[in-house]
Amino acid sequence: SAVISQKPSRDICQRGTSLTIQCQVDSQVTMMFWYRQQPGQSLTLIATANQGSEATYESGFVIDKFPISRPNLTFSTLTVSNMSPEDSSIYLCSGGTSGGHEQFFGPGTRLTVL
Amino acid sequence: QKEVEQNSGPLSVPEGAIASLNCTYSDRGSQSFFWYRQYSGKSPELIMSIYSNGDKEDGRFTAQLNKASQYVSLLIRDSQPSDSATYLCAVLGGGFKTIFGAGTRLFVKA
């Protein structure tokens, strides 16, 4: 299984600012994903991070709001831009093996926007 | 819209009992199925994957898959208080997108 780290683990940010979350995996996973999880809710896929190209976004998520980079196989960043209190959530990255079948999650970033 | 449905619970079982968690999915073409455990305040952790009809056992956990009926279940034998968590059913659909259910909260009473 892959070991995945994220930073920061938590942050409190002001409305209108941006936060970049970093995700590092310890092995060459096939795919990397970014999710959002509201308290008591399930996971919502934001996008699939593609190495060296634009991420593939899910309905309701756009690149201007959630720019994603993946410069190599083991590293990705998610930026939450122009934040509002509605962006307060836990953001999780995951690494998928064997075509993304099994996923291993980072510890998450708990974001609070005031 | 492709969906994965779970009973939100909470499901409460006494220590030592069998906990049975169920999940149904709508995409008949799905081929890969997973159970994740998520402790409060932690990220999901993969505990079982199953790809073929029938049962798959791993220690105290048994995953069951019935593609004709489009359901997946997870049995936890000899339940322990440490098994208290939310269990997420996940289904791999087209485009390698995994769809997660809302999760079932399990409480194991000592």
pLDDT on residue A99: 57
Cα pseudo-dihedral A38, A32, A104, B2, rounded to 10: 60
Looking at the complex, does the CB of residue A53 fall below 8 Å from at least one CB of chain B? no
Find out whether A91 and A109 touch, Cβ atoms under 8 Å: yes
* Chain A partners within 8 Å of B44 (Cβ): 43, 92, 105
Residues of B in contact with A92 (CB under 8 A): 43-44
pLDDT of residue A29: 81
Beta carbons of A103 and B98 less than 8 Å apart: yes
What per-residue confidence (pLDDT) applies to B50? Answer: 95
User: Is the model's pLDDT at B30 over the cut of 70?
Assistant: yes
The answer to whether the Cβ–Cβ distance between B102 and A41 falls below 8 Å is yes
Q: Say if CB A99 and CB B96 are below 8 A apart.
A: yes
State whether B46 and A92 contact (CB < 8 Å).
no
- Over residues B23-44, the mean pLDDT reads 93
Average pLDDT for residues B2-14, to the nearest whole number?
Answer: 90
Q: Is the pLDDT of residue B99 over 60?
A: yes
* pLDDT per residue rounded down to tens, chain A (114 residues): 788 999 999 999 999 999 999 999 987 788 899 999 998 888 999 999 988 889 999 999 999 999 999 999 899 999 999 999 999 999 999 998 765 588 999 999 999 999
Kind plus residue range of the DSSP H or E element containing A19 = strand A19-25
| A18 SS3 class | coil
A106 → closest Cβ in B34, B43, B96: B43
Residue B1 predicted with pLDDT over 70: no
B78: left (phi over 0), alpha (psi -120 to 50) or beta: left
By Cβ distance, the residue of B32, B43, B97 closest to A105 is: B43
- Neighbouring CB atoms inside 10 A of A45's CB total 19
Q: Is A38 on the interface with B (CB under 8 A)?
A: no
DSSP reduced 3-state for A17: coil
For residue A108, the distance in angstroms to the closest alpha carbon of chain B comes to 6
Lowest average pLDDT, out of A37-41, B39-43, B50-54, B85-89, goes to A37-41
Q: Mean pLDDT: which of A2-6, B1-5, B12-16, B89-93 is highest?
A: B12-16
The answer to whether the CB atoms of B103 and A42 lie below 8 A apart is yes
pLDDT of residue B29: 86
A96 interface with B at CB cutoff 8 Å: yes
